[in-house]
Structure formats: structure tokens, C-alpha cells
Amino acid sequence: MLIMRFVFFAALTLSAQPQYSLLLKGGHVIDPKNGRSAKLDLAIANNRVAKVAADIPESQAQRTARVDGLYVTPGLIDIHVHVYTGTGVKALTGDSSVYPDGFSFRSGVTTMVDAGSAGWRNFDDFRQRIIDRAQTRVLAFVNIVGNGMSPAGEDDSTEMQSAQAAAIARKHKDVVVGFKTAHFGGEGWPSIDGAIAAGRATNLPIMVDFGYLSLERTLRTLLGDKMRAGDIYTHCYSGHRGELGEDGKVNSAMVAGRKRGVLFDVGHGGGSFYWNVAKPLTEQGFWPDSISTDLHTGSMNAGMKDMTNVMSKILNLGAPLEEVIKLSTWNPARQIQRPELGHMDEGAVADITVLRLDEGKFGFIDSAGAAFSGSKRLTAELTIKDGRVHWDLNGAAATGFKDFKYQKRAPVIAPSSSKKKR
């Protein structure tokens, strides 16, 4: 009888325990994969999305964050950044890159994809130096050039070894999502062909920063003959490669590439997004397949700023908010073949971003320094990765100081300034 009472009261106690670690209550959920755009609550348990539903009781959660008037989305995925820093080199394999944790969570980003800063020669160093130490989820495209975006540049065709790049991708298959070619200024197609060969060998996509045009190296050949369905053309609003024709019309090569399944990424950067290209292209219906920043030291304090700023630009060009979220979450997750990310399925990893949408008069700057007035601006209020709050702008998920259980702090005693006697 005593044992039965013990079991009964133990079961009663367990049933009274809150089943969720965190409840986001009162927000508007936008989950493009599942077609959700409605006022719903979201509960997290064991670092996973446990439930998305209307009116989840606060009593079922250990902690509740009121997010009324805010938008609850999957964690943002930025598929074009440069975060291979700390090497001491004056290039994107060093000083021009940034540490991921300093820029990710504060802009709502939970997953960053380095776009070819490291190549097959120095990827091991990139992994141990940055990827394995970051709290941000860092994935990567491997540069087809051995030393990546180093001071030596990316024109040496002897360094474009597809077999070596593929081997590195297999070795680091948990973090490598494809291959990158960029900035090529030589003759012919060795960088594109090498990247595609590595992609075919591993069944992974490539990302192309096309570099420089020539009589042979044309956008029509690249998008019509070279790139495959699922490959990613970044800097789609740069205008540097004739994306917008002299007649003010979208280049027919871009339209043909899209029909073949080539994907188009923003990749804003310090010199790859211009209003006089983006506005006419989007007015003609040529929208990007993904939004990304091309984050580095030359873009973060210039026109680009951060992920929410770039999202706001696409929003003010006329894209619906739900579409902007899709281009920053579920679309990029599919492009990098990580379908476990970018959505709010029950049981999915709890990567969540809470955004505030302000309406008013705001200015947005492009890569040339030209301003564009907009009426909407997104700001990251709360960023959760793997169920843990990493950014909380206004304390929505925090406990008020009167109820907070502070740890007792010992007095800080200054070290004695007297010298020991000898």
C-alpha cells in the first residue's frame, strides 16, 4: 500500500511539471515549409520544436516569452558569408573575414554558410579555427582553389583540383554543402569546370561568383551550358555581368538559366547590390531564390549592414513578408541540402527567430552608397538556436530582476600592494 501511494504521488508530481522549457506566446508564426502564417504559439522542449498551436497554456511551460505583435520564424540561414578569420592574412582567408558569433545571432541568423573563403588546402585549419569553436552553426562551400580567397588570388588553374576538393568535402561531409568559384579573371572555364566536376563527384551544388567576362566567358554560356539545376548564381543584382541589359530588360540568359533550374542568390556584399539593377529586375518579376549578405569587413559597415537589412530591402522592393521569410529560411535550407533546417516541424531543431516589423520612413543604402526610401524595416528581437536563447534585444525571454534568482557574489578584494619581506 505504501509503495502504491509513493508511485501515485510521484506520478502526480511528474504530471505537474511543465512539459515545455520555453513558450513563445502571442506571436504571428510564419513557417513557409508548412504553409503557416497565423497567430500561433510555439513551444520548445529538449531543444526541439515541441508544438505549434493556438493558445498553448502558459502553465505548461517553465518560461514564457510574450511576443505579441512580433513575427516568429524559423532561424534565418545566411548562405553567403566570409568567416575564416584569425589567421593574420590580409584577405578573406584572414583579416577581411569576421568571427561568426559576433554577427549572427544579433541579426536573427542561426546558420551561416561560408562561401569559399577556404579551399581544399586550408579547410582543415578553417574547421578547427572557426567552425568547431563557433556557437553559430557554420557550414561551408569549399573553394575550388587550394588556398581559397588568399592574397594569391583565384586565377591559378593548377590549384583548381576537383579531386582534392571532393576529398575534403567527403572528409568534412557534416559541414560542407558544396563548392565555390569566385573572382576568376583568366581565360576559359577552369574554375567553373573544376567546381562542377567536384560537385558531380559528391552530388553537391556549386556557388558561382562569376568574376570577369570575356568574349568567351559570357553569362549566356555560364547559365545556358555550364551550370546545372540546383547550382547557385550569387550576386544576382550586381549588374557587373550584364544581368540587366542595356535596354533595361532582364538578360534573357538569366531567364533561360532559371528555366534550367539554376538558382539566384542576392549576395549583397560591398559591391554586388545596386538599386538601379535590383529595382528594374524585380519590377519585371525576377526575384531571388535566396537572400544572403556576403558578410565581410568591407560590407558590414557599408550598404549591406546585416541580414535583416538585406531582407528589408527585398521587402521594400515589393516582396510579401511571407516570401522574404521563405527566401531566408526554407529556400536556402533546400539549396544547401539541409532539409532538417529552415522550418518548424514538430521535432525539428529549435532554431527560431523573432522579428519586429516597423513601419515608417527608413533609408536603405546600396553598394554604391545610393539611398532608397522604404516604409518597412525588420529587426531581430529574439534568436534561439538549438532551443537556447542567444539574442534577446528587449528581454522578452528573460526573468524580471525582482523575480530573478541571483547568485550570491563574494566581495572583490584588491590584491595587496605590499611587497613580501625577504
Separation of alpha carbons 263 and 113, rounded Å? 16
Beta strands in 120-250 (DSSP E): 137-143, 176-181, 206-208, 232-233
Per-residue pLDDT of the chain (422 residues), as tens digits, is: 555 554 444 444 445 689 999 999 999 999 999 999 999 999 999 999 999 999 999 999 999 999 999 999 999 999 999 999 999 999 999 999 999 999 999 999 999 999 999 999 999 999 999 999 999 999 999 999 999 999 999 999 999 999 999 999 999 999 999 999 999 999 999 999 999 999 999 999 999 999 898 989 999 999 999 999 999 999 999 999 999 999 999 999 999 999 999 999 999 999 999 999 999 999 999 999 999 999 999 999 999 999 999 999 999 999 999 999 999 999 999 999 999 999 999 999 999 999 999 999 999 999 999 999 999 999 999 999 999 999 999 999 999 999 999 999 889 898 875 555 55
Is there a domain that residue 143 lies in? Answer: yes
Identify the bridge partners of residue 240 per DSSP, sorted by sequence position: none
54 domain residue, yes or no: no
Angle, CA 105 vertex, CA 366 and CA 133 arms, to 5°: 115
Residue 414 CB partners (closer than 8 Å, separation 6+) = none
- Number of domains the chain is built from: 1
Sheet containing 109-119, strands listed edge to edge, beginning at the edge strand earlier in sequence: 76-81, 109-119, 137-143, 176-181, 206-208, 232-233, 263-264
Range of 156's domain?
A: 75-348+357-376
Burial class (CB in 10 A: 0-12, 13-18, 19+), 318: exposed
On whether the CB atoms of residues 65 and 23 are closer than 8 A, the answer is: yes
- Do the domain assignments include residue 200? yes
**Cell reading at 211:** 568574376
Our measurement of the distance from residue 153's CA atom to the centroid of its chain's CA atoms, rounded to an integer in Å, reads 25
Q: Is the residue at 90 inside a domain?
A: yes
Query: What does the pLDDT read at residue 4?
Result: 54
Hunting for cell 539574442 — which residue is that?
A: 391
Q: What span, in angstroms and rounded, lies between the C-alpha atoms of 178 and 142? A: 6
Distance CA 382, CA 105 (A): 8
Span between the terminal Cα atoms of the chain, in Å: 74
Q: Do 326 and 71 form a contact (C-beta atoms < 8 A)?
A: no
Sequence-separated (6 or more) residues with CB below 8 Å from residue 204? 169, 176, 177, 178, 179, 198, 337
40 found inside a domain: no
- Check residue 134 and give left, alpha or beta (phi > 0: left; psi -120 to 50: alpha): beta
In a domain, 123, yes or no: yes
3-class secondary-structure state, position 362: strand
Helices (H), 365-418: none
User: pLDDT at position 11, please?
Assistant: 46
For residues 176 and 33, what is the distance between their CA atoms, to the nearest angstrom? 23
Residue 160 lies inside a defined structural domain of this protein = yes
Question: How far is Cα 53 from Cα 72, in angstroms, rounded to an integer?
Answer: 13
| CATH code for position 99 | 3.20.20.140
Q: Specify the length of the chain in residues.
A: 422
Q: How far apart are CA 131 and CA 99, in angstroms?
A: 10
Q: What's the pLDDT score for residue 12?
A: 42
Does 152 map to a domain? Answer: yes
